[in-house]
Amino acid sequence: GAGVSQSPRYKVAKRGQDVALRCDPISGHVSLFWYQQALGQGPEFLTYFQNEAQLDKSGLPSDRFFAERPEGSVSTLKIQRTQQEDSAVYLCASSLTNPNTEAFFGQGTRLTVV
């Protein structure tokens, strides 16, 4: 596709429910990032993939959060047993090679836990 695509755009989950958020990066992009953005705040780093390798997951807030990119393209961020504090916009970004180059962001998935 022409850009980074995220689905769903909006997700309402009941507390305790598991959710899966999908990211389709730009074809051929090696680097992929997940960020969490709370209302009125800047993005906060969650995790980084280089191809299929998850090189850094230090930003994942708890062991309920899990991300994968098994074939080095599509990535999924899974949140188990969602809590209200998980409500945020989850952003995915990809860049061609060097992660310090321009990153392209998806529109994000707005997760609301009720």
Partner 1 sequence: AQSVAQPEDQVNVAEGNPLTVKCTYSVSGNPYLFWYVQYPNRGLQFLLKYITGDNLVKGSYGFEAEFNKSQTSFHLKKPSALVSDSALYFCAVRDAGSNYQLIWGAGTKLIIKP
**Nearest-approach distance from CB 31 to partner 1, in angstroms:** 7
Give dist(CA 47, CA 70) in Å, integer: 14
Within 10 angstroms of residue 64's Cβ, the number of other Cβ atoms is 14
Return the SS3 of 103: coil
Q: Is 24 in the site for partner 1 (CB under 8 A)?
A: no
Site for partner 1 in 66-105 (CB under 8 A): 91, 93, 99-100, 102-105
Cβ-contact 107, 9 below 8 angstroms: yes
25-64 binders of partner 1 (CB under 8 A):
31, 33, 40-45, 48, 56, 59
Return the residue of 34, 82, 86, 106 that touches partner 1, per CB under 8 A. 106
Q: Using CA atoms, how far apart are residues 67 and 53, in angstroms rounded to an integer?
A: 11
Summarize as ranges the residues that interact with partner 1 (CB under 8 A): 3-4, 31, 33, 40-45, 48, 56, 59, 91, 93, 99-100, 102-108
